[in-house]
Amino acid sequence: MAAGSFPPSKPDWSNLSVLHRNTLPPRANFFNYSTKEDALTYFATNSKALSLNGTWKFNFAESPFKAPSKFFQNGFDTSKWSDIPVPSMWQLEGFGKPHYTNIVYPFHVDPPNVPFDNNQTGSYVRNFTVPESFSGSQLRLRFEGVDSAFHVWVNGKEVGYSQGARNPSEFDITEYVVEKGENVLAVRVYQFSDGSYIEDQDQWWLSGIFRDVNLLAFPKNHIQDFFAKPELDPDYVNATLSVKVDINSSEAVSLSLLDSDKKSVIVEETKSRSDSNSISFSIPITNPHKWTAEDPYLYHLLLTSGHQTLSQRIGFRSIELKDGLILVNGKRIVLRGVNRHEHHPTKGRAVPYDFLRNDLLLMKTHNINALRTSHQPNDPRLYDLADELGLWVMDEADLECHGFDSIHEASLPENEQSKSFEEKKAITYGRAGKWLSDNPEWEEAYLDRAKQLVHRDKNHPCVIMWSLGNEAFYGQNFKSMYKWIKEFDSSRLVHYEGDVKAETTDCFSMMYPKVEIILDFAKEWKDQQEPRKPMILCEYAHAMGNGPGSFKEYLDAFYNNPCLQGGFVWEWANHGLKAKNADGEAYYAYGGDFGDIPNDYNFVMDGLLFSDHTPTPGLTEYKKAIAPIQLVSGSKGSVEVVNRYDFIDLSHLNCNYSIIGDGFVQQGGPLLVPEIHAGKIGIIDIPQFEVQKKGVETFMLLTFTLKERTPWAPAGHEITTIQYQLFPAPYQPKEKATPGSSTAVTQLSDYELEIKGSKSTWRFDLVKGALTSWSNSTSNELLSLGPHLTFNRAHTDNDCRVGLEWKSKYIHLMKSYTKSVTWTSTPQTVTIKCSQQIAPPVLEWSVDAEFIYQFFDDTVAISVSGTPQGQNLPKTLPRIGLEMELVHDFNTCSYFGRGPGEGYTDKKLSQNFGTYTLPIEKLHTPYEFPQENGNRTDVRWVKLLGGDKGSVGLKARFVNRPKGFDFAASHYRTEDIEKSQHPYELEKCRRKEVIVRLDEAHMGLGSASCGPGVLPQYALESKPFRFEVVLSSF
């Protein structure tokens, strides 16, 4: 009887004892050059490297066992296979489908085992020829990133295996290659491996050879690796350049350090190896120019041995934990950072260089000084750019296993399911950590992630902190990682948020705390007799959809408390993938759009950039909040500012002033900016001037720009603006009827009144208690729907918690119920008084409202008072205001207030006061998940314009509200936005009419999609209100 077993042996990709087969030890990222001149270009194209990027033959299978078994053999026919570009992710090239989860694993949890089926497998083949110049060299095959694991064959022979999706893998293939003639390279890539259990990051599950592949030529006798450590003396003045060079021969190594011009030689030294396999240099450098994120001054290191030359950018700087603070070059720094996932809307994590570079340029031009490589080592080219442009980098290991928490949270008894997130976390995280992080069987896998990270990026000055991973709980394996890193590299600090007691990290770290929580930490830190470690927020201000709110409160906490050293906003960009719906309409897809189950829906759309990496309003707000120049106080003759740079003064900036008023802009001129050293307050004098327009609200506007070009921006780039009020708005009483004018009221039927003024005609529905028609001498009809009191808004992503209460209280279904209407008239004015309840179905609570309409000339003044009452009254309301719809002729708006972009009570500081004119279309912010948007705040007046060149218009202002009101104008009703899940669905709901909101108050935004809700000072409590709006047609 026949017998057998399947599989015949344990697959490498499901075997914890096999992390790599036949890979070379991890090393620093460098290329070999033949000359110093080539080395100083840093171009891979000038090095001894042959790029194997390009078109490969490709076969897709649903299982490793169903992939072609002999595809790697010479002569195997791949002519009928598909083509695929390398680098790429195969799900974005038409094979399989993307799958998004935030926390949970998309497969059955049984570590280290992964599925035999539903484990997509890609087989890649390409040919290559060894360049003649590589003859006689050691030939290495280097993959910068393959997700998740892979085997390699050359000319039919197995070379090896590796896993660790976002780490490099390098193989010596010298013995497998023919130097003359074609070679066949075959690679089999597995979507899932045992490594996937520690690659459970909040991103798309995508697969393939997604970073560069190179054939590298090393001389037979060569430098294998090097570690360059620029170290400053205790006074942070002089330095020592320590360089340890690992070499496999007895050849001498020459070291040259060049200045930033790549010509001036600072020092040269040559050494030969003694008994060990390394050579160490220790070279004193007198007062080198120091490297910081604000002044990224780079030297250039050349190492030469025989025919091999290497180059490395060198920045002299020190990082230390001293007196309870993180210091760089002896000074406290504040991290004004972002978390950056690798993302491209059509290529996934296979991010092109220009796209990557543009990301970092956007960071610099938006005042960002730090990035966290969430949650894996990024493309190695990022670190070169960060060295040159100036960014502090928290470099994070490719390690997350958040999904194990789902197991233990799901198993909580019913009485514990209702606990808060933090309470449940205290119960489940310890249990979840036992699976991997506190499991000695996984120690080598964890250590491998640390070693790969540190070895590759150890020579970059931008890297100031290693991060052990993300959301992987805590246990002995993290202690092992910390111990190894500290023994290998004592020159940097170590971070890991999961170590809540900071036992084996150099700082405390938190995600999404309330401001009061970090202020409590700061108080305890200050009260400690012994120095305590500082705090970093590795994730805060969750930037999902319309938000986040309250940047200012966090930044004030950072700068008012030395132990709070900044943080990283979550996150840099939405991860939407460009797709088309059934009608061929393009949109950016999120979880579930590809039929991927289970999924975490639109939680992947949580960035400061849209999916195409253009800025959202959130990034504009962040730029303002973290600007290095902030207002202290201002007057007509001077302004007091604080320099929030960590190192440099303000002498590199120009400043111009202008006067902004209601309906005018008066240009001023340049101002002399004193040096004002980092962290200090200084005064900028303003020359005497006369305001051209008297008796109107007026503001001073200062604009700070770069004097000279930098590597990241041209001269004249705007760093920030500062604005403050010079003269308040004069009191504006309510309009009165024109003397001699007449206004009369006629009852047309039992339920309808007609009011005729000298310039306008109105109709009022007595049953609805509402204005239903308004025509004037220049227009047949202005209104499609008259003003009515409403409270709802389309929920934002950050309304996820408070929105549940709003919906449970049926705010979205509230209607007006008329109780009584009375009217009176004088020769010039008609007054209508209306009592209403605005109430939801099902429940008893309501807003009892009184309206007083006064009609005269071309004006309606509407006075509104309301009293929320009832036992089911919600704690807060989304907004309070009048809503109406104008006929389609209206297409433009003009207003005086904050702009030109959207603003909310806790997201408005980036919007300066001015008079703005915009098409109605431009008031809308096209969030990739439709939601409340486009609000303008602190508005003094607004005009809605239509007809030929604005010949028809309606002006609105609030009476006696010096701080203004909120308004929005759009072609989308709230219910249309609420029901739409993608912009193309919303576009189908577009109406010709213009929906206008005039709000007495509007709830803030907060960041409750993953973090705190709206701060109390920005919450709109359910309490009595009163306001008066004046509407005038023209």
* Catalytic residue IDs: 471, 539
* 850 DSSP β-pair partners: 835, 865
Q: Could you tell me the two tokens for 44?
A: 């891979």
Q: Could you tell me the two tokens for 1028?
A: 């008066």
Alpha-helix runs per DSSP H in 852-998: 974-979, 983-987
> In the 8-state DSSP scheme, what is residue 425?
H
- Contact of 894 with 953, CB cutoff 8 Å: no
In 3D, which of 928, 954, 943, 945 has the Cα closest to residue 1034? 954
Element (H, E) at 526: helix 515-527
Angle of the 353-365 helix axis to the 380-389 helix axis, nearest 10 = 30
Calpha distance 259→265 (Å, rounded): 6
What torsion do the CA atoms of 493, 494, 499, 501 make, to the nearest 10 degrees? -10
Calpha distance 976→989 (Å, rounded): 6
In 3D, which of 637, 727, 650, 648 has the Cα closest to residue 686? 637
In 3D, which of 566, 575, 749, 750 has the Cα closest to residue 644? 566
Calpha distance 772→784 (Å, rounded): 8
In Å, how far are 138, 228, 253, 561, 721 from 273, measured between CA atoms? 21, 17, 8, 50, 58
- Contact of 823 with 833, CB cutoff 8 Å: yes
Residue with tokens 């986040």: 548
Dihedral sign (CA 345, 350, 353, 356): positive
Dihedral sign (CA 350, 355, 361, 367): negative
Rounded to 5 degrees, φ, ψ at 561 are: -135, 110
Buried b (16+ CB within 10 A) or exposed e, 422-444: eebbeebbebbbebbbbbeebbe
- Cis amide linkage into residue 548, ω under 30° from 0: yes
For residue 979, give the amino acid letter.
Answer: K
For residue 240, give the amino acid letter.
Answer: T
- Contact of 659 with 914, CB cutoff 8 Å: no
* 925 DSSP β-pair partners: none
Residue with tokens 């202690």: 479
Q: Could you tell me the two tokens for 377?
A: 């080592």
Rounded to 5 degrees, φ, ψ at 269 are: -155, 145
Residues in the chain: 1034
Number of neighbours of residue 989 by Cβ within 10 angstroms: 15
